[in-house]
């Protein structure tokens, strides 16, 4: 055969060394004639495409070909004989590849020494193949030409497939970060999705830089970190970061653009309000053009989400301030300048997290808790501020504040207000059923009400009231232990007492003015 004597392209030593380290293109030759397989190997000896050699796999029957396809998912080109153990063994293998394996990426070429068994026109029309050749046609040069063509097609198809898969992963990653509700959650989600998007397991850090104002200079804070950089989470400025990262961040800030390095990537984005967010990814190996394109595409989505989330947080902060102010207005009727509602909200938030609620649920409780006693606006000052014990008629009037507050808050369709209504109605219910207004017991009491009930009691006992003095912390601890399973949810009491010092510290951070 002519192709037995074709010359191979010479391979330079440095090029050969580089190609040894590159992944190979996999080619499968399926033919029941060992000589044909051997000649094919010889003809393609030293063949390279885009700096990568060809690894030739061989099978001597359609059944063996199936086994190899099951074992080797990344075969670029398959050269298949039609007549082997049966007159249509090659055709059955093609059908297996395309239909059962759903493989439409491998470039498939049929060749035959008996063209009468399978007419070319019918085979090309009915089977998903790239070409159909007689064995006598395939000289060494034509075989190489076929392989160049097949590998180019395989490269283009796999590139399109990777881009499509990358787009899908970008969309999924973006949808995940859209479900976050705070900048810190957002930052953590970005780090996780970014490393997953690129198939990396490297270190990363996300930093927010606030614009300077008349009241404060330009400031930075780290929102999240991963890998070997996790110890730098919650840092307050760029100078506290490793010098190399700090320098890269400063370069990005100065140039106002993202930076691609051999060993790192820095995402830069500046929103309309002047806030700049920086994402640093430490790379163990340089990423390719395709991965860079994915990074840039993902960065666009991250930037847009960041801006929207910043606006959302500002709205939530404003809403929280309004709620707190309303709660304060109610509280100040009996204790001017008191920070009771702020402390109850903070303690409730920490308590919710300590029993495993997610950040969003805990934050809802944080925003709703200040309104737990809003119904007291309907209680007469003579009752609310009475220094002594209330008589039965006064006590009956006092207890109405739970229902009044719940009905007032339930008029709103906002989620936070609906939660606040649950809290207002249920935070005086007792675990043993002895509370009011409905005499609910155990888990029939909404969890948000149980949380705020304990936080309210914990803070109230440590605050002087017209009818009693402040309790020492040890007496408060003893009281809560005694009321576990009676007035309060035992699980919540265990969580608070198990980390008593932390809850005391939260309380002390917000003293009465």
Coil, strand, or helix at residue 375?
Answer: helix
Q: CATH fold of 179-302, please?
A: Beta-Lactamase (3.30.450)
Report the chain's C-alpha Rg in angstroms. Answer: 36
pLDDT tens digit string along 103-158? Answer: 999 999 998 877 666 677 788 888 889 888 888 787 888 899 999 999 999 988 88
Q: Write down the pLDDT at residue 112.
A: 82
Q: In the predicted model, is pLDDT for residue 284 greater than 80?
A: no
* Higher-pLDDT residue of 277, 368: 368
The pairing of strands 276-282 and 204-210 is: antiparallel
Q: In the predicted model, is pLDDT for residue 489 greater than 70?
A: yes
Q: In the predicted model, is pLDDT for residue 190 greater than 80?
A: no
pLDDT tens digit string along 64-96? Answer: 999 999 998 889 999 999 989 998 899 999 999
The pairing of strands 131-134 and 52-59 is: unpaired
Angle between helices 447-461 and 500-508 in degrees, nearest 10: 70
| Domain boundaries along the sequence of the chain | 2-159, 179-302, 332-508
* Higher-pLDDT residue of 466, 173: 466
Hey, what are 249's tokens? 């961040």
Q: Write down the pLDDT at residue 76.
A: 94
The confidence band for 174, taking pLDDT boundaries of 50, 70 and 90, is low
Residue 437: cis peptide before it, omega within 30 degrees of 0: yes
CA 306 – CA 11 distance, rounded (Å): 52
Q: Write down the pLDDT at residue 429.
A: 95
**Residue 430: alpha-carbon gap to chain centroid:** 39
* Higher-pLDDT residue of 44, 282: 44
State how far the alpha carbon of 65 is from the alpha carbons of 28, 68, 342, in Å: 8, 5, 72
On average, the pLDDT of the chain sits at 80
| Among candidate residues 220, 226, 154, 152, the one with its CA nearest the CA of residue 189 | 226
Most confident range (mean pLDDT) of 130-139, 435-444, 463-472 is 435-444
Q: Write down the pLDDT at residue 10.
A: 40
Taking CB atoms within 8 Å and a gap of at least 24, the contacts of 388-396 are 388/467, 389/467
CA 261 – CA 173 distance, rounded (Å): 24
What architecture is the 332-508 domain classified under in CATH? Orthogonal Bundle (1.10)
The confidence band for 7, taking pLDDT boundaries of 50, 70 and 90, is very low
CA 173 – CA 196 distance, rounded (Å): 9
The confidence band for 276, taking pLDDT boundaries of 50, 70 and 90, is confident
User: Where are the alpha helices (H) located in 355-472, listed in sequence order?
Assistant: 359-368, 381-384, 392-409, 415-426, 447-461
Q: Write down the pLDDT at residue 339.
A: 77
CA max distance for the chain:
114
Active site residues: 376
pLDDT tens digit string along 327-369? Answer: 554 554 455 435 788 899 999 999 999 999 988 889 889 888 8
Average pLDDT of 295-318? 60
Q: Write down the pLDDT at residue 347.
A: 95
pTM, full prediction: 0.46
Coil, strand, or helix at residue 211?
Answer: coil
Q: In the predicted model, is pLDDT for residue 448 greater than 70?
A: yes
Helix (H) or strand (E) segment spanning residue 27: strand 25-30
Q: In the predicted model, is pLDDT for residue 218 greater than 80?
A: no
What architecture is the 2-159 domain classified under in CATH? 3-Layer(aba) Sandwich (3.40)
Average pLDDT of 269-281? 78
């Amino acid at each position: 055969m002519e192709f037995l004597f074709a010359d191979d392209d010479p391979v330079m030593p440095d090029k050969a060394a580089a190609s040894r380290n590159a992944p190979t293109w996999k080619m499968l030759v399926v033919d029941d004639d060992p000589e044909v397989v051997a000649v094919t190997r010889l003809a393609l000896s030293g063949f390279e495409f885009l700096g990568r050699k060809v690894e030739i796999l061989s099978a001597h029957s359609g059944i063996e070909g199936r086994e190899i396809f099951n074992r080797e998912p990344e075969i670029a080109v398959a050269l298949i004989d039609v007549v082997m153990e049966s007159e249509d063994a090659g055709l059955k293998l093609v059908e297996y590849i395309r239909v059962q394996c759903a493989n439409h990426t491998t470039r498939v070429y049929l060749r035959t020494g008996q063209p009468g068994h399978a007419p070319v026109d019918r085979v090309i029309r009915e089977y998903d193949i790239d070409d159909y050749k007689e064995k006598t046609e395939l000289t060494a040069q034509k075989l190489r030409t076929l392989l160049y063509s097949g590998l180019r097609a395989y490269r283009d198809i796999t590139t399109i497939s990777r881009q499509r898969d990358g787009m899908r992963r970008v969309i999924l990653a973006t949808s995940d970060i859209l479900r976050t509700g705070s900048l810190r959650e957002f930052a953590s989600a970005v780090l996780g999705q970014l490393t997953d998007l690129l198939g990396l397991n490297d270190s990363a850090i996300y930093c927010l830089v606030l614009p300077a104002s008349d009241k404060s200079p330009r400031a930075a804070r780290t929102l999240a970190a991963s890998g070997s950089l996790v110890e730098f989470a919650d840092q307050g400025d760029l100078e506290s970061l490793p010098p190399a990262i700090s320098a890269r961040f400063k370069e990005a800030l100065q140039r106002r653009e993202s930076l691609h390095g051999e060993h790192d990537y820095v995402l830069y984005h500046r929103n309309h309000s002047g806030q700049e967010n920086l994402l640093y990814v430490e790379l163990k190996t340089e990423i390719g053009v395709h991965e860079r394109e994915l990074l840039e595409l993902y960065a666009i989505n991250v930037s847009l989400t960041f801006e929207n989330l910043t606006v959302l947080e500002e709205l939530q902060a404003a809403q929280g301030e309004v709620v707190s102010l309303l709660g304060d207005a109610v509280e100040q009727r009996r204790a001017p300048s008191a920070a009771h509602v702020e402390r109850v909200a903070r303690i409730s938030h920490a308590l919710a997290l300590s029993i495993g609620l997610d950040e969003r649920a805990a934050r809802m409780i944080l925003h709703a808790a200040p309104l737990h006693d809003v119904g007291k606006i309907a209680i007469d000052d003579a009752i609310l501020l009475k220094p002594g014990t209330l008589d039965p008629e006064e006590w009956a009037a006092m207890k109405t504040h739970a229902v009044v507050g719940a009905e007032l808050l339930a008029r709103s369709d906002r989620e936070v207000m609906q939660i606040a209504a649950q809290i207002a109605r249920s935070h005086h219910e007792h675990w043993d059923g002895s509370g009011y207004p409905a005499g609910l017991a155990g888990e029939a009491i909404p969890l948000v009400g149980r949380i705020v009930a304990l936080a309210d009691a914990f803070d109230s006992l440590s605050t002087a009231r017209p009818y009693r003095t402040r309790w020492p912390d040890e007496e408060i601890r003893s009281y809560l232990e005694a009321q576990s399973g009676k007035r309060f949810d035992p699980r919540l009491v265990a969580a608070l007492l198990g980390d008593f010092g932390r809850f005391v510290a939260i309380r002390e951070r917000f003293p009465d003015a």
